[in-house]
Structure 1
Amino acid sequence: MSDHEQLKISIIGTGRVATHLALHLHQQNQKIQYIFNRSVEKAQVLADQVHATAIDDLAQINDTDILLICVSDSAITQISEKLSQINYQGLVAHTSGSTALSVLSNLGRNAGVFYPLQTFSFEQKIDWQSTPIFIEAKSVDALHKLEIFAENFSSKIYQYNSEQRLSLHLAAVFACNFSNYCYDIAQQILDEKQVDVDLLQPLIDATAEKLKRARAVENQTGPAVRHDQQILAMHQLMLTNHTEWQTIYQLMSQGIQARTPKN
């Protein structure tokens, strides 16, 4: 496969990751051959958008350069086993951040990982050029193919092993998923008092912007880092009717104080 050859790609799954990958590859004039889903009707919805063939039988996949497994982490092993049973010989890569390459060990040396470190939702466009892509493979040849493939998405391509990738996934849960849940709590607090939640947006933007210039621990502000016990107690009292939020507030405040001891 030369660096400028059009790739032939098939995708297992029709969720958010599969959809974004398929749509972007289609825009890059790459050939999407097959979209697989246990429900061929669901596969057809995505296949129609990228001029692919919808299938519900993995044995139908043939003559594909790269087969992407874009399913839940718990289903990757099952898919790998089915591909092994049909003696699939092409390059297979899963897209999980928290699943080791070893789950594809039954597929031999033609197996790898293609992990975009990004948050995916159906309604939100992805800035692929700013998205880091992490690749890993069982062989040098497979790694080279994945690197060429990744260039369709981003110039930020990294060769990380499974342990490193797992640390990224865990860190991403804190940085993205947990922080978003904190935004959810914040919005609910304001909704209860009929306060406009958009008032928080400049603060959220400024907090994210500061991370470009300094480490998070250096940017920490608020009553916990000041060890302001009066404000901390008042906030916790305000959360009396929301014990879950109160516990989160206490744990986070304690963590901040442990990270930034009082002078």
Structure 2
Amino acid sequence: MITATIIGSGNVAQHLIHAFKKSSGIQLSQVFSRQKESISHLVEDSKIITDRSQFLEADIYIIAVSDSAIAEVSSSLPFENRLVVHTSGSIPLEELNPKNRRGVFYPLQTFTKNKEIDFAAIPICLESEFDDDYIVLENVAEAIGSKHYLISSDQRKSLHVAAVFVNNFTNHLYQIGKEICAEHQLPFEILKPLIAETASKVQRLSPLEAQTGPAKRNDLNTIQTHLALLTDNTQKEIYKILTHSIQQSNVKKL
């Protein structure tokens, strides 16, 4: 059985705590948190530590904190030559202090507080300095039912950018759609079946094949009608940029 210590108490840390507690292949050794109360409902008091001198030896230490704190946290660990990994999509492995063996355990998913996550549906991006440590990372991923992929720091950085487009930017477009609906006294709920079908379609088709709409058809009359309707200049610019990008993508296809 793999012994694991989690460092952090945010969304990712809490979801990993849930997953590790449910796994028969992982023993959650300790959780380090400055805010003990934030995880007291998840972990028994005896396993929560707030002092770095209290760390016990474990097979893996997972730093699940904000990107800006990873380097500092890894440097402050009071031990050496143990496997220490972070969970960030954009921070290179080299940001971890080299006094310990370094790795990455990056779950590619958007995490929501208090919403249970099925790790069997979440890909885990793995990276390590040493082959033996990579086996440990594979075993941890498999113990919570996740598919895992060997992804370098450079690849992970690119993957994170792609994730921002398909997740964060897409969600912001939902917000723009909601604003347009509100401006014209329309319920946003009307769009939800369309949102669901679009997400479903890309599971079966490539995004290029799934693309529809006036930009794909080069329907200039509809495009101009839409631009005339929009009252927000930022929304107009976003509409123009995305329309141009879709048109260019379909030109490349031809």
TM-score normalised by length of structure 2: 0.92
Quick one: distance in 2 between partners of 1:62 and 1:225? Answer: 58
Q: Deviations over 1:51-90 (max 9, x none)?
A: 253333223212222111011111111112112xx23332
Q: Is 1:127 aligned with 2:123?
A: no
Superposed CA RMSD = 1.9
Deviations 1:97-149 (A, max 9, x none): 111111125234x2211011111011322121121111111111111111111
* Alignment partners' CA distance in 2, 1:43 and 1:138: 32
Q: Which residue of 2 aligns with 1:229?
A: 220
- For 1:258, the equivalent position in structure 2 comes to 248
Find runs of 4+ consecutive structure 1 residues off by over 6 angstroms: none
Distance 1:47 1:143, change over 3 A: farther
What pairs up with 1:92-111 in 2 under 5 angstroms?
A: 92-108=84-100, 110-111=101-102
- Match among 122, 127, 131 for residue 136 of structure 1: 127
Correspondence for 1:35 among 31, 50, 60: 31
Gaps of 5+ in 2: none
Cα deviation for residue 194 of structure 1 reads 2.4
1:243 equivalent in structure 2 = 233
SS at match of 1:112: strand
The answer for the alignment partner of 1:8 in structure 2 is 3
1:22 and 2:13 correspond: no
Size of the alignment, in residue pairs? Answer: 251
> How far is 1:187 from its partner?
1.3
Query: Aligned to 2:98, what secondary structure does the other structure show?
Result: helix
Identity within the alignment, %: 39
Conservation of the 8 A alpha-carbon contact between 2:119 and 2:146: no
1:176 maps onto 2:170 in alignment:
no
Give the counterpart of 2:75 among 71, 81, 85: 81
Q: Give the conservation status (yes or no) of the 8 Å contact 1:35–1:54.
A: yes
Q: Cα distance 1:63–1:34, how it changes in 2: closer, same or farther (>3 A)?
A: same
Deviates more, 1:28-37 or 1:59-68: 28-37
CA distance in 2, matches of 1:58, 1:247: 50
Higher mean C-alpha deviation, range 47-56 or range 10-19? 47-56
Look up the SS of the partner of 2:56 in the other structure: coil
How much does 1:96 deviate? 0.7
TM-score, normalised with respect to structure 1: 0.89
